[in-house]
Structure 1
Amino acid sequence: MTTHTQHNSVPKTSVWLAFGFYLLIGFEFFYMISPFAVYFYSVYQPGLEFINNHPSISWLGATFLPHIVSETSSPLLNNITPVGFILTFGGGALFIFGAIQVYWNKLRKKSVVVSGLYIFVRHPQYTALIIAGLGMLILWPRYIVLLSYVSMLFVYYHLARHEERECFLKYGSSYQSYMEKTPMFIPFAQKLPRLPQLLSGNNLARRSLYVIIYFSILILSVQTANLLRSWALDQLYARYDQNSATISVTSLSSDNIAEILAIAMDDDTVREHIRETESTDRLINYIVPLDWSASEIPMQQIEGFDHFGYLPPEEANEHKIVFTRSIPDTEKKLTGKEIIEHSKDRLPLLEIIVNRKSKLVSEILPPLQPAHLESVPLPIF
């Protein structure tokens, strides 16, 4: 339900600011899948560098769901990107439709909206932003985006309660009746108890409850994301050993990964190059199809290539291997999956093409030179 009072100008402005905030996150994702990713990332560079350069908060820049790989062993993860797109664009469309309703009502000089989307929920524009924000979080699952999303949920609740107090003061029992029969954010859901009613007492006690609930949900969200990250890593087509983690971005069995690595390490040049790294270094290697690239991996880029929705050719004989040196966020000795879990960046070492049919390295490409964005945290898997 929407009124048009001077008091409501602040909440409505906040709605548009929130919409702009999600657009900013969305633009990061869309530019990351374009050839202009490196230029767009310069906008985020100062903040992301600050996060990456401080060990205590460097985890905020990490992702907790796969963002690079095209295939995993989980059907859910393989189909989660289209879900993210649907939620993002669907939420955006609902937001615009809700805005049209509000301003159309203004043109007709009516003071309240109770039709259209407002039949199902009292705050459809906030619901739309919640849906779009969830889609953005799926498409760009950084921890910092997760914390921002949870924080915005509390902001929406606060703004919605503010609007409802204004509406109640102006419309009295008619608005109270509307509240009783119309859910706040979730259509067809039974009305949940309002947070201020969960605790009786003065304003300080109620505010303290808000703070406790807020930080409790933040902690719970991060722990849930950690569990999702660990589970997602187990779904990768990967092979781990004491000093390295090797990820295939498409479907390859552990035996096939081992075979491709063995062919690579049988080559004298490759073996010598890898041996030049320090014994304490840990490697993250990527096995990718010949016609595949991703701006998140320090490798030679294929102009205009979009790895989302990529379908690899069946039984390909040639594969690229990108060897990188992991830059960990801890001094602890890491092995296996821990190398990925604690890697905040990678440095390029070598890029080669392996032919499984001839069992030879057919080409050795020069390593990509570290770019000016090397300290910006990029997805690892």
Structure 2
Amino acid sequence: MTHDVPAYGLWMLVILNSAIFLMFAFSFFKPQTARDWRTFGAFSAFIIALFVEMYGFPLSIYLLSGWLQTKYPGLDLLSHNSGHLWSTLLGEKGDPHFGPLHIASYVFLGFGFYLLSSAWNVLYHAQRHSALAISGPYARIRHPQYVAFVLVLLGFLLQWPTLLTLAMFPILLIMYGRLAVTEEAEMCKKFGAEFDAYAVRTPRFFPKLGASSQPEHPM
């Protein structure tokens, strides 16, 4: 096996890709409160860990190298394509960048960032008027921003799973779930019956199929 073009040790790519995605997410999310910064910080840790393994040092490949070489004796562990472990494990042939999982990951990433942008726009105007955000994506679910972050994380996991990010993912799910509950307690205290009515008709994370919550006071 030859490696004329190095797949790892590309630390400038680690920095560049991490910066691009974090700035992109920051421009949509625009954290303001301490809770917002915790949400964004956890997301940032996931992104950095991902790109460190994607272009810096393949820790997961290194730890799994013995098993991978036994099960896939012809696999070039130091090639970039080998990092797309789902493709390897599922026995996909050809370039993994054109495989169904990779294409699905782009759908998750695109919709996640779109949802994040749409939700922030509604939330920004609601906060300016000291009102409850109940229009746009908030008419379908109560926490579209947290759902958006999860969709982006899922998109990256479909592209490039690592042991660290797979371990971080359920922790982030729990964290976002707890933040959502805390946020709802604050909104209930602030808006009272208006939030209670909104919570009754609007699911927390999973929208009702074929139905939407209609806001009483459009923003």
Pairwise TM-score range, normalised by the shorter structure: 0.5 to 0.7
Deviation digits for residues 198-247 of structure 1 (CA, Å, limit 9, x no counterpart):
xxxxxxxxxxxxxxxxxxxxxxxxxxxxxxxxxxxxxxxxxxxxxxxxxx
Q: What's the C-alpha RMSD, in Å, of the aligned pairs?
A: 3.5
Report which of the two structures shows the higher radius of gyration computed on alpha carbons: 1
**Residues in 1 aligned to 2:99 and 2:196: alpha-carbon distance in whole angstroms:** 45
Alignment-derived partner of residue 115 in structure 2: 94
The question of 1:159 aligning with 2:159 is answered no
**Which sections of structure 1, spanning at least 5 residues, go unmatched?**
1-7, 56-61, 190-381
- Give the secondary structure class of the aligned counterpart of 2:86: coil
Structure 1 pair 102/25, CA: closer, same or farther in 2 (3 Å)? farther
2:35 equivalent to 1:11: yes
Amino acid at match of 1:88: L
1:150 to 144, 153, 170: 170
Q: Following the alignment from structure 1 to structure 2, what is the Cα–Cα distance between the partners of residues 28 and 97?
A: 30
Distance, in Å, in 2 between the alignment partners of 1:88 and 1:134 is 8
Give TM-score, length-normalised by structure 1: 0.36
Match of 1:65, SS state, is helix
Please point out which of 142, 149, 154 is paired with 1:129: 149
Once the two structures are superposed, the pairs formed by residues 1-381 of structure 1 within 5 Å of their partners are: 9-25=33-49, 27-28=51-52, 32=54, 37=55, 41=56, 48=59, 52=63, 65-66=86-87, 71-72=92-93, 78-106=99-127, 108-188=128-208
Letter in 2 for 1:93: Y
Q: Distance in 1 between matches of 2:50 and 2:124?
A: 25
Residue correspondences, number: 158
Following superposition, the deviation at residue 174 of structure 1 comes to: 1.6
> Once the 2 structures are TM-superposed, how far is the Cα of residue 70 of structure 1 from its aligned partner?
9.5
Q: CA deviation at 1:88?
A: 1.7
Residue deviations 1:264-292, cap 9 Å, x none?
xxxxxxxxxxxxxxxxxxxxxxxxxxxxx
Q: Deviations over 1:19-74 (max 9, x none)?
A: 32343355457xx4xxxx3xxx0xx58xx49x849x9xxxxxx975226999439x
Q: TM-score, normalised by structure 2?
A: 0.60
Unpaired runs of 5+ in structure 2? 1-31, 67-82, 210-219
Structure showing the higher helix proportion among its residues? 2
Aligned equivalent of 1:229: none
